[in-house]
Amino acid sequence: MNLERGTGRRSVTRRFERRRSRSSASLAAVAAVAAVAAVAALVVAISLTGCEGVREDAVAVASGQVLTVDQVVDLLADLPELPADEGVVRALADLWVDYTLLDAAAREDNTLAALDLSAVVRPRVEQEMIRSLRRSVINVDTILADEELRFLFERDRPGARVKARHILLHFDMTRGASRDSAIAVAAQLRDRIRAGADFAALAREYSKDPGTARVGGDLGEPFPPERMVAPFSEAAFALSPGEVSDPVETQFGIHLIRVDRREGPAFDDVKEAFRNAVKNQRVQAAESTWVASLEGSAAPVVQEDAYTRVRALARDPAQRLTRRAREAPLVAYSGGAYTAGEFLSYVRARTPAVRSEIVGAPESELEGMLQGLTRGELLVTRAEEEGMALPQATFDSLEANVRAQFGEAVAELGLGGPGPTTPIADMLAEMLAGDRDVIPLGPIGYVLRDRYEGRLVNEGVELALQRIQEERRAVVPPRAPAGGGPGSGSPGEPSQSGPGAADTLGPE
């Protein structure tokens, strides 16, 4: 178990590869937009219908500006390779809000000194604290003499694989007599093979495994231990080449196994890599023991309604919680609690795919997730108790680095200048066309929305989506010619003639 807790945050300087075709560019851009929406949408996206001063056709508003339904339709309607669903519209609108607010912040103060970046820096600080705690409390003897290392290598056989055959006998699992009979037949076959009978011939005659019986029980390419069920692997890897096992029972029936050969790296070839693996295993085992002790004393208990609330927060991370709801515990432990507000901050930084998995996850998986999040909180608390808080100078340095990245994003996007800049909607059009790189703002989007006014309008999002769907349905694709023509290939194959035909993108 690793004590380190990842932040899952993105750098503002991450770039997306430029695409040469418009279709591929659009897909790449909106993939980046969707990623940004998952992390930057840390503000409540509420409906503004009926609020004074908000246009009825607004999809989003930010810093006194409006993204309209017409603009969103113009951006997305003629890109059929992008799904016409609410997530795409929201992702695009979220990015428009982020860039609009970034422009406003940079115009107000090009040093961006007024922005509170502690929410961005804090996860990095906590990670450093946990690393310091790890170095302090995990004391493991990792010195390994070659003799001890060789003994462990011979015992564990890392990278080992075996080439094997088997004979499978079925039995009626509801009848003990049937099982006993199958074991007796297997024992007789074993004795015959050990007396010199041909294993392959007996496999063809007796084995009930249709996939291997016809080839003398051959299981194909050499396999590692994890490839087979545990009883089968344990028996196979205990055999020397040419040996035949006693009857082995698995859920498939009764097996006889013969190993034809063993494969694996030589000790001298992998000695140092194996040494490092053993050291890491020992450190992880010590960490697990220490963390288990910490959790045991804290006695965390998942609250009765926690799973329902977790699913609700993952389903709608834009919801606004009252102070009482934010402070309500999901997991209570001695001296504290992991709260709904903390989980909301966590889930807002996850991708839509992860949030969807949380909504559909069984309670056993949700329990493991909540216990893990609580464990991270306990580690940070212990580090603070041990006086492992980072010096203020380190915190200031991390914040300065984030602020510098913030400034790089401003410069890259051409925002915050004294004169007019490219309208954000036009900038998004260039990104969708592949003519401009998408720069996700990540958690900095939350900082902006926390300080400035910026939100989505639910009714506008729905109207834009409806319009996009209507316009796409109205477009009838041209009918393909019946006969072949210049550049036509086999039926069902795209033409390879014309500009850009060779610009097909391979797998990501």
Q: Where are the alpha helices (DSSP H) in 138-214?
A: 146-156, 176-194, 199-206, 210-213
pLDDT, residue 56, reads 87
3-state SS track over 301-370: EECCCHHHHHHHHHHCCCCCCCHHHHHCEEEEECCEEEEHHHHHHHHHCCCHHHHHHHHHCCHHHHHHHH
The dihedral region occupied by 414, where left means phi > 0, alpha psi between -120 and 50, and beta the remainder, is left
Question: Domains plus CATH for the chain?
Answer: 22-120+401-474 (no CATH), 159-264 (3.10.50.40)
User: Are the C-beta atoms of residues 454 and 61 closer than 8 Å to each other?
Assistant: yes
The pLDDT value given to residue 209: 95
What residues of the chain score a pLDDT lower than 70? 1-53, 318, 419-420, 476-508
Half-sphere exposure of 55 (CA within 13 A, CB side): 15
pLDDT score of 175: 83
Give the pLDDT of residue 441: 83
CA distances from residue 116 to 103, 256, 343, 400, 508 in whole angstroms, order as listed: 17, 68, 21, 11, 37
